[in-house]
Amino acid sequence: MNMKATAEKAEPEMTGLNMFGLFAVSVMVVSYALETRHSAFVLVFAASCVLASVYGFLQGAWPFGIVEAIWSVVAARRWWTGAAPHRAVGGPMASAAGSQERRL
């Protein structure tokens, strides 16, 4: 058996499907991080969830595809209704300070 041929087969290759998945998840992470800056990022997040769902189904990981499809509906609904993300901007101390101000 040729050891060089065996070693070459062990390396994962970057296919078009893998690049599509990497793109979809990268856009999803970046848009999620920027959601509090503008509502357009919520819509971008929803679209990237659709792309990630398509990737999941094409790759054969249908549970991932289903979960991402659900996330896309949730994000699209949040964008449509204009609901703000349920995260504090500035970390835990900012949310604690904000809640104290509301009580005063």
Cβ–Cβ contacts within 10 Å for residue 57, how many? 15
The pLDDT of residue 54 is: 97
Cα–Cα distance measured from residue 43 to residue 29, given in angstroms and rounded to the nearest whole number: 13
Where does the pLDDT of residue 13 fall: very low under 50, low under 70, confident under 90, or very high at 90 and above?
A: confident
Distance of CA 5 to the CA centre of its chain: 37
Residue 10 domain-assigned? no
pLDDT for 42-95, tens place per residue? 999 999 999 999 999 999 999 999 999 999 999 999 999 987 666 555 555 555
Question: Total domain count for the chain?
Answer: 1
Decide if 95 is inside a domain.
Answer: yes
HSE-CB at 7 with a 13 A cutoff on CA atoms is 3
Model pTM?
0.69
Whether 38 and 8 have beta carbons less than 8 Å apart is answered as no
Residue 55's domain spans which residues? 15-82+89-103
